[in-house]
Structure 1
Amino acid sequence: MPDQAVPDTDYTLSPADAALIRSQARPSEQAGMLTAPVQELIHARDWLRMLAPRSVGGAELPLPQAVRLEEAIAAADGSTGWTVTLCAGAAWFAGFLPPAYAREVMATRGLCLGGSGAPSGHADVDGDGYRLTGRWDFATGAPMTTHFTMNAILRRDGQPLLDEAGAPRMRAFIVPASDVTVHENWHTIGQKATASHTFSLEGVFAGAHQAFDLTPEGAVAEGPLYRFPFLSLAFVTLGANMAGMAANFIGLARDVIGQRRHHVTRQPLAELPQVASALADGPAELAQLREHFYALLDRMWDQVCRREQVLEADIRNLHEVALRMVQAARRAVDELYPLCGLSACDGRSEIGRVWRDLHTATQHALLLPFAA
């Protein structure tokens, strides 16, 4: 039998929870962070622990189930879905920490992990620990984050430590929010409520137990989640967010276009052949790729659960389909956008916010067409 953890909680998005998230989307955007009701819901549902090991207080949710939940949340609101995805993904790192320390972190009231994957700082060896200094951008959920994670280049006596290939060595670290300075500089057109600010550290000491390696060999937890490749986990969770946001836009666009008429003939806009084609073809392509995406994810997850070898070709295929799904989402949305009229350009409109959120999210470096 596969060694797959089955959670006690039903991790699906209820209609009531989706309605609350939708109702708070505009207030969250205006506030530049998720509002208190949304944060309270996230913690009440324990979504931010869903990828952490059960052995340290997490849910250790099967990855395909977690990805489908993240897509559903993103379909309710892009900023909420993105924040849950990135912060729950950071809690996945608990599977690579010493269990006693991971348990301590997971027990934090209002737990939220966030951070940055860019190695834009350095870690100077200091006895049995390290001194962390640097500045890291795009820490999603920064105002609600209790622990920050980051990558840093290892140094000794000011000189980078090198690996066998002669490249600088890098490790990941986790520190409490009290050690971090947050710089409120997130000023994008969309995803405003993710509050993905910059943070910095200056000579902060981190013990050896706060350093970890995101490699299969570095996993401490035994479950299949921690054997699943980190890069693949990133591709599938971000890709699912794009599918959710696109589905939200498409639904809103159908309603808007359905109320419009051609300005000359007064014919219902949705009845024009080219408009009908736009309403059908792009969403159909996205739906087909989404189905293929989940079939590949489910198969790869089953292989990992059964401790079967996952071929590099299969990993690349999953990444490529995730990127194709993102591209199809963008195409479908952008074909419909001009048909929605000025309401889509109104900074106060729901459809305008969804468009801005999706196009901001697609700027993530991992989602570039050549990233796979």
Structure 2
Amino acid sequence: MNTQKLREKCFGIEEFTADILNWIQSENLWNIWVPKTYGGLEMNLSEGLQMLREVSKIDGSLGWTITLCSGANYFVGNLKEGTIKKIFNNPKATCLGGSGAIKGTAEKVGEKYRISGDWNYATGSHYLSHFTLNASIIENGVPLKNEDGSEKFLSFILPKDKITIISDWRAMGLKATLTNSFKVHDVLVGEEYSFEYDRFHQPQAIFQLPFRVFADLTLWVNYIGMAHHFHKEAKNLTKCNYLDMLMHELKIADKMLFNYAEELEAVISKKKPIGGNKIEEIHKSASNSVRNLSEAIIKIYPALGMRACSENQELNQVFRDYFTATQHHNFVNR
């Protein structure tokens, strides 16, 4: 399916059709980061970011869903081999997603955990084979603490038949991401389905990245892709000078993003750690870039006329998708 055909199929829908989902599976895009050993594409950081940039340029919901679900499949690096083989027994159909919030509880019962709670914002909820969640650990009725006094939590993976989806996604954009809430009630799971998100068991370079850096870069590239799409559509309606401002910011963002990717790959190849200062630098750069892109788009929008306000126009959908994405907590300064 070519880019234009895919864009047409994504326009105006509130849920991906079977042919869109089949295309994602045929391209194995849920598994951008998954090792080839387990049926994935095993892309390096630069390759994966380039792929995410291209799909987010096609459609915001498409890029966002593939980013967050492939980002959840990235947790393959946190799992032990036996668990991986159970979850990724049909790799192209394996699609993880869920919530990063620590909201529910997991009561330790022998070598299992009894999980209950509700979580918000599971991107791709209707497309998932498994849900990921974070839960506070309780043992003998007492919440456990880490050595520093913070609450102890673990991440878990549960099959979709143990989950109840709450259909509450009513955002103005990214509609087809179906980023619904979900709940779990009294589900018992083996400890092999628990993991710590910052402990890895796979040797590939991508799993040597601090998770915060991985999240920053993979989200940032979505804003860049959607902003490129906005620029493409907007230049058909106006010649205002702010178009040049947006393209200037896009060139800076593209260069900075991929320079960081190459720099990180070089550091990892030398088996050196990525320091806290670099992690903070990347987060600040990404946050500033998203802010600059947003300001440029907002300055262009008043010059676009009524067509930009019409929901049956592609430009309007791109605008709504982009600014829905800006509300993700990662880059929001409240």
Report the TM-score when normalising by structure 1. Answer: 0.87
Partners in 2 of 1:160 and 1:54 — Cα distance?
Answer: 39
Matched ranges for 1:293-304 at <5 A: 293-304=257-268
Q: Which amino acid letter does the alignment assign opposite residue 38 of structure 1?
A: I
- The alignment-based identity, stated in percent, is 29
Q: 1:206 deviation in Å?
A: 1.2
| Kept in 2: contact 1:34–1:193 (CA 8 A) | yes
Maintained 8 Å contact 2:38/2:88 = yes
1:74 to 44, 48, 56: 56
Structure 1 window deviating more from structure 2 (248-257 vs 300-309): it is 300-309
Aligned counterpart for 2:10 among listed residues 19, 25, 39: 25
Paired AA for residue 114 in structure 1: G
> Do 2:231 and 2:246's aligned partners in 1 also have CA atoms closer than 8 Å?
no
Structure 1 runs not aligned, ≥5 long: 1-15, 258-269
8 A contact 2:30–2:70 mirrored in 1: yes
CA drift of 1:237 comes to 0.5
Q: CA deviation at 1:302?
A: 1.9
2:19 to 37, 50, 59: 37
Map 1:6-155 → 2, pairs under 5 A: 16-27=1-12, 29=13, 32-108=14-90, 110-155=93-138
Partner Cα separation in structure 2 for residue 65 and residue 77 of structure 1: 19
Aligned residue for 2:187, secondary structure, equals strand
Cα distance between partner residues in 1 of 2:105 and 2:310: 44
SS of residue matched to 1:256: coil
Q: Which has the larger radius of gyration?
A: 1
Q: Corresponding residue for 1:338?
A: 302
Report the alpha carbon displacement of residue 157 of structure 1 after superposing the two structures with TM: 2.3
Residues in 2 aligned to 1:155 and 1:20: alpha-carbon distance in whole angstroms: 50
Aligned partner letter, 1:179: K
Partner SS, residue 151 of structure 1:
strand
Q: CA deviation at 1:176?
A: 0.5
The residue aligned with 1:305 is 269
Check if 1:226 corresponds to 2:207: yes
Aligned pairs for 1:190-229 within 5 A: 190-215=173-198, 218-229=199-210
- 1:167 corresponds, among 150, 168, 185, to 150
Could you tell me how far apart the structure 2 residues matched to 1:91 and 1:329 are? 29
1:311 and 1:127 map into 2 onto residues whose CA distance is 38
Query: What is the letter of the counterpart of residue 42 of structure 2?
Result: E
Distance 1:282 1:89 in 2: 28
Aligned mate of 1:254, from 235, 246, 249: 235
RMSD: 1.3
| Per-residue Cα deviation, 1:174-214 (whole angstroms, up to 9, x for no partner) | 01001100111100000000000111100111101100011
Contact 1:56/1:99, CA 8 A, preserved across alignment: no
User: In the alignment, residue 68 of structure 2 is paired with which amino acid?
Assistant: L
Task: Could you list the structure 1 runs, at least 4 aligned residues long, displaced by more than 6 angstroms after superposition.
Answer: none
CA contact (8 A) 2:174 2:321 kept: yes
Residue in 2 that maps onto 1:262: none
User: Number of residues paired by the alignment?
Assistant: 333
Given that residues 53 and 92 in structure 1 are in contact (C-alpha distance below 8 angstroms), is that contact kept between their aligned partners in structure 2?
no
- TM-score scaled by length of structure 2: 0.96
| More moved, 180-189 vs 297-306 | 297-306
Match of 2:293 in 1: 329
